[in-house]
Amino acid sequence: MKYTLEEIRKIPIFFIVGKGRSGTTLLSNILDSHLNVASATESRFVLILWLKYKNLKVWKPEMAEEFYQVLLEDYRIKYMWEFEDSFLEQLKSLPPETKVQELIKVVYIYKKSMFPKEHIKFIIDKNPRYTLFLNRLQTIFKEAKFIRILRDPRDNVVSSLKYSNKKVGAIGFKWLIYNNKFDRFSAKNPNNCHSKSFEQLIINKGEYFREFENFTGIKGLAEIESKRLQIRDQFEEKFTEKLRIQHQGSVKPLDPKKIGHFKVKLNEQQIEAVEASVFPFAAKYGYKKTTNVLPIKPLKKIKLEWKHNYRFFKNGLLYDLPYPLFLTVRKFMLDNVSKGKKKKLDQLIND
């Protein structure tokens, strides 16, 4: 199916953000089962394509092959994504006035899904790390809307511990940083931001879906949600064992036991460490302390904030570089600095 430039421009785009392990993948997979929704996960190709093509003046059909090679600079796309056969044909058919925003939307539209698709009317991009790039994404897509998924920080820590060697207090503080960033952005852009909790989805998915539909315009979520539970066999075949373990909850029924399971998964000392990091902030979203621990001291909080913000600044700075320099610096960092990330990347490639 081909799309005109005008049709592409009219497709709204939504970014699902929030601290990882908060149910973002679950919501993305539910949405992906919709016939008219293109839902993508865990890629930063938007930032890469923006670096390369943000000053694009005239689009030419012969640029399609180069565009595809730039797209493959995102390792997740290179090793995990597949595209419809007509992807390049659609790129080549676009008129000279095409901008990078429309090219990015074409990537979403032609990404293969485990679910059948008809005419794409909505685009969803789920990436927790995009919480750090909200202003950049708004610059690229001025009409974009942002959906933040909240989860009890203690349950979030339990889920994150399986994939992190950090201490529970540090994971909890990262939850605080991410949600603080969204709150500040949302305060400036209230009409373009929507925030719901993982617990609300589990306890009352009917109400959750109604409010979500009102915000996005995507209809019929309650009806199509059941399709998510019918793809287990495809899920088992498509993903590596590591990825199946990491996202196995995405093809399971909504489980109320996931709410409050920190009470049996964490010991009292660990719960205190998390609660000291996230309260009183977490209280405004209805989460209640289970211990009498005091918040971390101001000096320690400042040090932790500085440490996190410095890392976020370095990460963001990479995507401010000219495209050729970006490639050089990223390679140098993977080879010499970010050895943990390089190890994960090598594992991804091997898988």
**Pair 109, 120: CB distance under 8 Å:** yes
Whether the per-residue pLDDT at 340 is higher than 80: the answer is no
Boundary residue ending a domain (219, 254, 289): 254
Q: What is the crossing angle of helices 268-278 and 153-161, to 10°?
A: 120
Whether the per-residue pLDDT at 289 is higher than 70: the answer is yes
**Pair 271, 287: CB distance under 8 Å:** no
What is the model's pLDDT at position 172? 96
Widest CA span in the chain: 65
**For the segment 80-109, what is each residue's pLDDT rounded down to a tens digit?**
889 999 999 999 999 999 999 999 999 999
**For the segment 10-62, what is each residue's pLDDT rounded down to a tens digit?**
999 999 999 999 999 889 888 988 999 999 988 999 999 999 999 999 999 99
CATH number, domain of 14, equals 3.40.50
d(C-alpha 188, C-alpha 291), whole Å: 34
What is the model's pLDDT at position 234? 62
pLDDT-derived band at 341, boundaries 50, 70, 90: low
0.85 cut: is pTM over it? yes
Query: Does residue 178 sit in the same domain as residue 111?
Result: no
Query: Does residue 229 sit in the same domain as residue 348?
Result: no
What is the model's pLDDT at position 15? 98
Whether the per-residue pLDDT at 288 is higher than 60: the answer is yes
Query: Does residue 10 sit in the same domain as residue 35?
Result: yes
Token digits of residue 106: 């074409």
What is the model's pLDDT at position 79? 86
3-state secondary structure of 13: strand
Sequence-ordered list of residues with C-beta below 8 angstroms from that of 73, at least 6 positions apart, any chain: 45, 48, 327
Whether the per-residue pLDDT at 189 is higher than 70: the answer is yes
Q: How many domains does the chain have?
A: 3
Range of the domain at 279: 152-188+259-318
**Quick one: CA torsion of 347, 159, 80, 78, rounded to 10 degrees?**
-70
Q: What is the mean pLDDT of residues 122-140?
A: 96
What is the model's pLDDT at position 80? 84
What is the model's pLDDT at position 232? 58
Please report, for residues 11, 134, 179, 255, the alpha-carbon distance to residue 128 in angstroms, rounded to integers and kept in the order given.
22, 11, 11, 22
Which residue is associated with the tokens 């109400």?
207
- What is the per-residue burial (b if ≥16 Cβ within 10 Å, else e) of 24-39? bbbbbbbbbbbeebbb
Query: Does residue 96 sit in the same domain as residue 176?
Result: no
Please report, for residues 101, 114, 137, the alpha-carbon distance to residue 45 in angstroms, rounded to integers and kept in the order given.
12, 21, 12
Burial of 310 (0-12, 13-18, 19+ CB in 10 A): exposed
Sequence-ordered list of residues with C-beta below 8 angstroms from that of 142, at least 6 positions apart, any chain: none
What is the model's pLDDT at position 220? 92
Query: Does residue 131 sit in the same domain as residue 217?
Result: yes
Radius of gyration of the chain (CA): 21
d(C-alpha 102, C-alpha 46), whole Å: 11
**For the segment 208-255, what is each residue's pLDDT rounded down to a tens digit?**
999 999 999 999 998 888 766 666 566 556 555 555 554 555 556 677
Query: Does residue 242 sit in the same domain as residue 205?
Result: yes
Boundary residue ending a domain (254, 278, 309): 254
d(C-alpha 246, C-alpha 351), whole Å: 14
Whether the per-residue pLDDT at 286 is higher than 60: the answer is yes
Query: Does residue 294 sit in the same domain as residue 171?
Result: yes
**Pair 38, 120: CB distance under 8 Å:** yes
What is the model's pLDDT at position 277? 97
Query: Does residue 305 sit in the same domain as residue 333?
Result: no
Least confident of 121-130, 285-294, 298-307: 298-307
**For the segment 294-321, what is each residue's pLDDT rounded down to a tens digit?**
999 999 999 989 988 888 888 889 999 9
Boundary residue ending a domain (254, 282, 303): 254
Please report, for residues 197, 316, 331, 337, the alpha-carbon distance to residue 311 in angstroms, rounded to integers and kept in the order given.
27, 9, 18, 12
Query: Does residue 182 sit in the same domain as residue 195?
Result: no
d(C-alpha 99, C-alpha 102), whole Å: 6
**Pair 70, 345: CB distance under 8 Å:** no
What is the model's pLDDT at position 222? 86
d(C-alpha 52, C-alpha 44), whole Å: 13
DSSP secondary structure code for residue 295 in this structure: P
Query: Does residue 290 sit in the same domain as residue 330?
Result: no
Query: Does residue 209 sit in the same domain as residue 303?
Result: no
Whether the per-residue pLDDT at 129 is higher than 80: the answer is yes
**Pair 341, 332: CB distance under 8 Å:** no
Name the average pLDDT for the chain.
Answer: 90
Query: Does residue 168 sit in the same domain as residue 206?
Result: no
